[in-house]
Amino acid sequence: MATTNKPGKQPLIEKLQQQASDLTANVQGSQAWNSIFRPGSIFRKGYTDSPRNRSYVIMNSVLYHLHPVKVKRHAVKVSYTLCLGGLSFFLFILLTVTGIFLMFFYRPTAAQAWSDIYTLQTSVTFGLLVRNMHRWAAHLMVLSVFLHMARVFYHGAYKAPREFNWVIGVILLQLTLLLSFTGYLLPWDQLALWAVTVGTNMMGYTPVFGEQVRFVLLGGVEIGTDTLLRWYVLHVLMLPFVIVIFMAIHFWRVRKDGGISGPL
């Protein structure tokens, strides 16, 4: 049965709908909204799905901007890159996030380091989980960076014009290994102490400057709390800072070298 309304009286539901669409129009027309949702965004007033708007979406978003507007068909095939470079980057982000969590509970001194890790595992909510995520992500990152390098080599992508990016990649591999090694000392357990003793002794055999290199790495003549502080700063600040700079150059070079390599 059809509902009848008194003349001049709008049904409540229609009134609410009208108010909601007025509000949407006002918000979408505001300067604040349009400063956040740039041209091409589906959230803008009057959006249409056109090639121009699709390009705008890429150009106006800081995240999408990292990707080129156009990509070659083979470059988006997962089976070509196996996404190993992207996976290495993802693991780095995961390591940063979990690492920040660990920093809240860890003090880098010989007296506190081991017990802080023990407390983290036994008394902190999600402590064991986050520590293990950090450890596993570190192992996986070494593996994925290595496999990524093997993939690049297999495809001959180290050849011109990508030889500079290959060199940047070699530096990234070394930084990844250094991050892994400096993190190894931080739990301050027997495994860590002896691994670092062996590592720094080996570096002591560097020609000409061996003793000096060893002294700098240990922060003294033998492994101790100064070594821990030194490696901690390297692990949480200096090496991540340097690797981020090299990653930025690496990604920028992929773009400048004409995107991912491909079959000729």
179 binds ligand HEM (CB under 6 A): no
The closest alpha carbon to 40, from 24, 67, 25, 59, belongs to 59
Span near ligand HEM by CB under 6 A; candidates 172-180, 193-201, 205-213, 217-225: 172-180
Give the CA count within 13 Å in the CB-facing half-sphere of 197.
10
The closest alpha carbon to 169, from 183, 185, 152, 156, belongs to 152
67 binds ligand HEM (CB under 6 A): no
The closest alpha carbon to 192, from 110, 264, 94, belongs to 110
Q: Which of 11, 29, 39, 86 binds ligand HEM (CB under 6 A)?
A: 86
138 binds ligand HEM (CB under 6 A): no
Q: Which of 117, 120, 157, 185 binds ligand HEM (CB under 6 A)?
A: 157
In angstroms, the Cα distances linking 169 to 190, 237, 248 are: 33, 20, 11
The number of beta carbons lying within 10 Å of the beta carbon of residue 29 is 11
Nearer to ligand HEM, 117 or 172 (CB): 172
Cβ 92 vs Cβ 243: under 8 Å: yes
Comparing every residue's Cβ against ligand HEM, the nearest one is 169
Site for ligand HEM in 10-39 (CB under 6 A): none
Residues found near ligand HEM in the complex (CB under 6 A):
81, 83-86, 88-89, 145, 148-149, 152, 155, 157-158, 162, 165-166, 169-170, 172-173, 176, 247, 250, 254, 260-261
